[in-house]
Chain A
């Protein structure tokens, strides 16, 4: 997450990137899948900085420069822009030594695109796609480093019929409805999680103490229904897990994890197109506890947290699947 601000905004790095086709992707699927995309990624990973590694984990995360053929050019796992710029320059130097045959695949890879099995293949174009930002809210005790203004993001997907079910069946002023349990519980479990400083785990159904979302139509004009949204979620879990990355993973301790927020906002729904045209909801409340990789091991006491949910745009990057997509159960 730190790389978002430290590496990719660096002018030297951005200048070097113009020589590459740049991509960002999720490493777990790439390193364990069996489709042509995963196979090629695995060929690259096993020539890179974590090749063959199994401890402390088998992750292959990092930054890789490769030829389309899968011939490795250079790789690194770093948040230092100078180190990354150096790696990119080494990669270009090696690229310039390769023949066309070494650089390119023998066939056209686009012929295999239909064999690539990604969650993004199930992007709900006719539904609702929310971008969900998270950030700590102001408090007295804030660290004096990048964590002070850390933020993160994720997505929440709703299929067309799910999106419509968030609203009253009849879109007339004064109509009210409660969102289906399954949908607000999905938000509570998968989106209202403390990922501000890094990846965390999802909550499970057993962890949910409260999950409600109510809507009220306050205006209908020119085919647009304006709806007020209010709700609350509260999740709590206790058990044994690690909270300090690799440090305590061999001897995890007993911990609690809790997040409680109230939701408030407005959405507009185009009744003719049956589609949301605006969506702005805030969820603010309190979090406590830590998970293995979310950077809270020294910040477990209750503290304020906020989420902002809004319509995602239509850029390719905004079609990326939610982090916990596999918990959606979509086929």
Chain B
């Protein structure tokens, strides 16, 4: 119990979790939501599956670039 109280005190001293309200909603949304400059990786014409790229590359006579990660790079990686 005492250790939990100490932890809560430490939290209060280093940060405060905001209480969400109508008036501060936009501020916190804009803090969390990525800015346009953080989404420039989406400017590439990513096919979200390897197979779509294979089909298109075969049709267009082009090579394929595959970015394969643990967790889909367009979702959570």
A residues sitting closer than 8 Å to B (CB atoms) are: 1, 3-5, 7-9, 14, 17, 19-28, 30, 36-37, 40-41, 44-45, 59-68, 73, 88, 91-92, 95, 103-105, 108-110, 113, 116, 118, 120, 133-135, 137-141, 149, 151-155, 195, 198-199, 262, 264-265, 280, 282, 284-286, 293, 301-304, 306-308, 310, 316-323
Contacts and interface: CB of A to CB of B under 8 A. Distances in A.
30 contacts: A4-B41, A4-B73, A14-B43, A21-B57, A22-B44, A22-B45, A23-B50, A23-B64, A23-B66, A25-B67, A25-B73, A26-B72, A26-B75, A41-B66, A63-B67, A65-B64, A66-B63, A68-B64, A108-B58, A135-B32, A140-B15, A199-B71, A282-B29, A284-B20, A284-B28, A302-B10, A308-B29, A316-B52, A317-B46, A320-B48
A19 B15 CA distance: 48
B76 interface: yes
Contact of B41 (A5, A20, A95, A110): A5
Given A68-B54, A140-B15, 17 more contacts: A8-B67, A9-B43, A21-B47, A21-B60, A23-B48, A25-B49, A25-B50, A44-B66, A65-B63, A67-B64, A91-B65, A92-B63, A133-B32, A137-B31, A199-B70, A282-B28, A323-B76
Contacts of A151: 32, 34, 38
Contacts of A60: 68
A318 B48 CA distance: 8
B74 A320 contact: yes
Contacts of A59: 70
DSSP class of B's interface residues: helix, strand, loop or mixed? Answer: mixed
A27 B68 contact: yes
Interface of B: 7, 10-11, 14-18, 20-21, 25, 28-29, 31-34, 38, 40-77
Contacts of A284: 17-18, 20, 28
A152 to B, nearest CB: 6
A152 B73 CA distance: 10
A278 to B, nearest CB: 13
A186 to B, nearest CB: 15
Contacts of A45: 68
A286 B55 contact: no
A61 B71 CA distance: 10
Contacts of B10: 301-302
B65 A63 contact: yes
B73 to A, nearest CB: 4
A10 B58 CA distance: 27
Contact of B44 (A17, A27, A304): A17
A140 B65 contact: no
